[in-house]
Amino acid sequence: MVVEDDEDLRFAVVTELAANGLRVDQAGDLATADAAFDRADYACAVLDRMLPDGDAADFVHRRRQHGWATPVLFLTARDTLADRVTGFELGGDDYLVKPFAVAEMTARVLVLCRRAGHGRPSVLRHADLEMDCAAREVRRAGTLLTLSDKEFAVLEFLLTRPESAAERSELIEHCWDSSTDPMSNVVDVVVRRLRRKLGAPELIHTVRGRGYRLAAS
C-alpha cells in the first residue's frame, strides 16, 4: 500500500514498485488507507508523513496499539534527527527523506516485504478451502467464491488459527474499527453469510460461550 497525496510522486512510486513485481494499492489520505488496512493484510506500507488528514506517524502508532504488524516505510521531507527518531518510536520500520532515489525506495520496500513474508504464507489452506491473500480470492473445492470485505476478513482471521476458537471480541478487534460495539451481533451476521457461501460440509463451528472456530468436522 502506498499512501501519498502528491499524485505525481505516488504515480512514480507505484509504477516502480509494480515494475518490480509487486501488487500495489494506493491512497491519497489516511481515511482511505485506514479502510484498506482493515480489509487486507499488506506485506508493506509506504506512507508520506504529512497527509491532508494528519500525521501518518500518529496514525501508525494508533494502529500498532491494536496489534497491527505491517512493516512501514515513511517517506517525508521532515529530515531532522528528532523527526527520524519520532518516526521509529511511533512504529515505523524504515525512514526515507525526500527527495529520494526511487531505486533506493524500491530496494527498501523489497527488504520489508521479504521480512513480512517470513511470518505468514500468502496462500492459506484448510481442508478443501484455499485463500489467496494477495489476489484476494477464496476457493472451496476449487470453486471460486464471492465474498464481501468483512466476510473475507473474518475468514482470513479464522484461517490463520484453524482448529482454535476465536472469540467474538477478537474478531471485532481485527475485522472492524474501534467504534464497533463489542456487544453487537455483526460477527454472527457475517458468519451466517459465510456459512451459506462456503456450503456443506460446514467448516465454521460455534464454540459455546466464546465464538467460532474453523474445523473440517
pLDDT digits (tens, 9 = 90+) for 109-138: 988 887 765 445 568 889 999 988 767 889
Distance CA 159, CA 180 (A): 22
39 and 71 inside one domain: yes
Compute the average pLDDT of residues 166-178: 75
DSSP letter at 84 equals: H
164 and 110 inside one domain: no
Neighbours of 191 (CB within 10 A): 21
112 and 141 inside one domain: no
pLDDT digits (tens, 9 = 90+) for 19-61: 877 888 999 999 999 999 988 888 899 999 999 999 999 999 9
pTM for the predicted model, two decimal places: 0.54
105 and 63 inside one domain: yes
How many domains does the chain fold into? 2
Distance CA 71, CA 80 (A): 22
Q: Which of 30, 85, 73, 38 is nearest to 54 (CA)?
A: 30
112 and 129 inside one domain: no
Q: Which of 153, 124, 147 is nearest to 41 (CA)?
A: 153
